[in-house]
Amino acid sequence: MAPKRALITGITGQDGSYLAEFLLARGYEVIGMVRRSSTVNFERIRHIQDKITLVSGDLLDEVSLIHILREHRPHEVYNLAAQSFVQTSWPQPVFTGETTALGVTRLLDAVRIVDPEIRFYQASSSEMFGKVVEVPQKETTPFYPRSPYGVAKVYGHWITVNYRESYGMHATSGILFNHESPRRGLEFVTRKISHGVARIKLGLDEELRLGNLEARRDWGFAGDYVEAMWLMLQQDQPEDYVIATGETHSVREFCELAFGYVGLDYRDYVVIDQRFMRPAEVDLLIGDASKARQKLGWQPRTTFPELVQMMVEADLQLVKEQMR
């Protein structure tokens, strides 16, 4: 049987790299869309670059999307591309909307034009829940986004549902709670902490400046979560699913564990800096992934302490290599 082909947008990001590995291991041909940038940023996919096909395109340019779909005819499209950093969505609300919201319509419509049988995955987010309306949050919990990013993701979510209902497309939205890894961008709080811990432990820094330590998140491991994306597209019926661990921890707890792992007390190093506070905060996220467990047979494998340890160890290794 000919291998299945998958197109991943956002392949240079954290999730894109894990999903590409996952699909390659299942015999897929993987096509990754990359946008032009002045410096090449293929660090996360360098180890698999000879096994995947990289194509040039941008969610801001629908023509590029149509060309890619026509040329490569994927069976599955995973739309992971986005302006994904919540903090940046305040200073850049229009760009965030263009990419994270309207970008989804451009890609969905390109799929509809080229071949509406292509299965489509949209990377929706727990940020759509925003202000606490219900705990734990599940597929039926009403959305109340608290950032331009969250608002854009709500649009992306509903346009995916709408294309499914309007055109009968196999379009699915995975509502994923925070998921982290050693490949997480350095600006996100978990990686900022694990990297900061490594630099402090190795004598390069004396403090770590953070914002709100009381925010609580449901943090899982990205490597576990990409499997759920794939499972969603293997179902006969396209539906939306929450993917989460069902546990919540504060930024403070993350610090405590991460510093504790190298024998340090976070209270001696963490400095609160107003620059990292947000105009509107999401205080508490905790997901109920029972539907995914029952229908997809999915559950997370990595525990919170294992995740923290994995990230700190990887950053210790990385910083040591950089010091050589």
Give catalytic residue positions. 125, 127, 149
21 near ligand GDR (CB under 6 A): no
Amino acid at position 296, single letter: L
Contacts of 130 (CB under 8 A, 6+ apart): 143, 144, 145, 146, 147, 150, 282
The DSSP secondary structure of 123-180, one letter per residue, reads EEEGGGT-S-SSSSB-TTSPP---SHHHHHHHHHHHHHHHHHHHH---EEEEEEPPEE
In the list 7, 83, 118, 232, the residue contacting ligand NDP (rule: CB under 6 A) is 83
125 near ligand NDP (CB under 6 A): yes
In the list 31, 101, 176, 296, the residue contacting ligand NDP (rule: CB under 6 A) is 176
Least spacing, CB of residue 250 vs ligand GDR, in Å = 9
Nearer to ligand NDP, 57 or 238 (CB): 57
35 near ligand NDP (CB under 6 A): yes
240 near ligand NDP (CB under 6 A): no
Burial of residue 140, with CB atoms counted within 10 A of its CB: 0-12 exposed, 13-18 middle, 19 or more buried: exposed
Binding mask 259-298 for ligand NDP (x = CB under 6 A): ----------------------------------------
181 near ligand GDR (CB under 6 A): no
Least spacing, CB of residue 200 vs ligand NDP, in Å = 24
- Please state, in angstroms and rounded to a whole number, the distance separating the CA atoms of residues 72 and 74: 6
12 near ligand NDP (CB under 6 A): yes
In the list 185, 186, 214, 273, the residue contacting ligand NDP (rule: CB under 6 A) is 185
Q: Any idea what DSSP says for residue 4? A: P
Name the residues that contact ligand NDP, by CB under 6 A. 9-10, 12-16, 35, 37, 41, 58-60, 80-84, 99, 103, 123, 125, 176, 178-179, 185
Name the residues that contact ligand GDR, by CB under 6 A. 84, 86-87, 125-127, 177-178, 187-190, 192, 210-212, 215, 217, 251, 276, 278, 281-282
